[in-house]
Amino acid sequence: MSITQTDLTRINTFIFDVDGVLTDGLLYCFADGEQVRAFNIKDGFAIKHAISQGFRVAIISGKNEPGVRRRLEQLGIEDIFLGIEDKVEAMEDYLYMQGIHPATVAYMGDDMPDYEVMQRCGLRACPADAAEDIQAISTFISTKNGGRGAVRELIESIMKAQDNW
């Protein structure tokens, strides 16, 4: 699938999965049960910049870890939905409550739990190392892997298309 300038200029909302998108998908598990992930600082800068320019940023993830929530809050993200089993329902509820049209949403996911929700968004995006089925439905495939700048590349591309990077 190809992406057009119109696809980029109509976006006003970003929704991201966490594992495999904002992180590289690796979990470091400690004996006490804590699971640690690494976030990319350049992705974080882009998220903060997008928020400062009036874009909405939301997170919908199946996992629910306190450390992840703290990191997302540090970035200024207010709409954080963790521990979500039905991502479609969570997104639809969020869009309805905020008055956001699905065509104005860029969703970045990386694996099958994101498949259905991605099909309901205006711009379907994924990291370079996303699952094959996710790449097949994506209109924007980053040149970067998850947790390695894929989020930054998406945000920067959209903001540059709108002349506000």
CA distances (Å), origin 161, targets 11, 19, 34, 76: 10, 27, 40, 23
Give the integer Cα–Cα distance in Å for 103 and 26. Answer: 31
**What is the CA angle 54-3-148, rounded to 5?**
65
Annotation-wise, does 17 bind a ligand?
A: yes
CB 1 within 8 A of CB 141: no
Annotation-wise, does 19 bind a ligand?
A: yes
Tally of residues, the chain: 165
User: What tokens appear for 84 in the block?
Assistant: 């979500």
Question: Residue 163: left (phi > 0), alpha (psi -120 to 50), or beta?
Answer: left
Annotation-wise, does 111 bind a ligand?
A: no
CB 110 within 8 A of CB 21: yes
Known binding positions for Mg(2+) = 17, 110
Known binding positions = 17, 19, 110
Known binding positions for substrate = 19
